């Protein structure tokens, strides 16, 4: 594949594309014969970044499980939002062990509860 690409081009196999799907934009080039392989394989040209920026966004694009049991946390976030809308600046920090759902909580809360001009910073 290295010999097929011109300078500045990046070609990917289907397996590599699937690993990075959503994070990158590609142009399918169709099946291409590759030296050492018995038959042509699908090749993709990397064209730039994709629309997805996090693993959670990727999971959401594929379908998430039901979001349950976070009413207290959502109420706290809503309270901070309402205070901010009244002109009282707010900073909210979610702290917890890995895997307890901090990113999912932010995702669910910001999906449709904030004014569109607000910016959410999440690490």
Residue 86 CB contacts under 8 Å (≥ 6 apart), including other chains = none
80-108 pLDDT, tens digit per residue, is 989 988 999 988 888 999 989 888 898 88
Calpha distance 42→94 (Å, rounded): 43
pLDDT at 28 (0 to 100): 96
Those residues whose C-beta lies under 8 Å from the C-beta of residue 20, and which sit 6 or more positions away, are 12, 50
Confidence (pTM): 0.58
The domain ranges of the chain are: 11-51, 67-110
CA 81 to chain centre: 24
Residue 93, helix vs strand vs coil: coil
Q: How many residues does the chain have?
A: 123
């Amino acid at each position: 594949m290295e010999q097929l690409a011109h300078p500045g081009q990046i070609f990917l196999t289907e397996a590599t594309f699937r690993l990075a799907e959503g994070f990158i934009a590609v142009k399918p080039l169709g099946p291409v014969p590759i030296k050492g392989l018995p038959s042509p394989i699908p090749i993709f040209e990397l064209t730039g970044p994709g629309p997805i920026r996090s693993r959670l966004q990727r999971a959401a694009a594929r379908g998430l499980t039901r979001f349950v049991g976070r009413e207290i946390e959502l109420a706290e976030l809503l309270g901070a939002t309402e205070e901010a809308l009244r002109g009282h600046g707010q900073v909210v920090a979610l702290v917890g062990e890995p895997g307890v759902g901090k990113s999912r909580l932010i995702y669910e809360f910001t999906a449709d509860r904030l004014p569109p001009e607000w910016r959410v910073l999440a690490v």
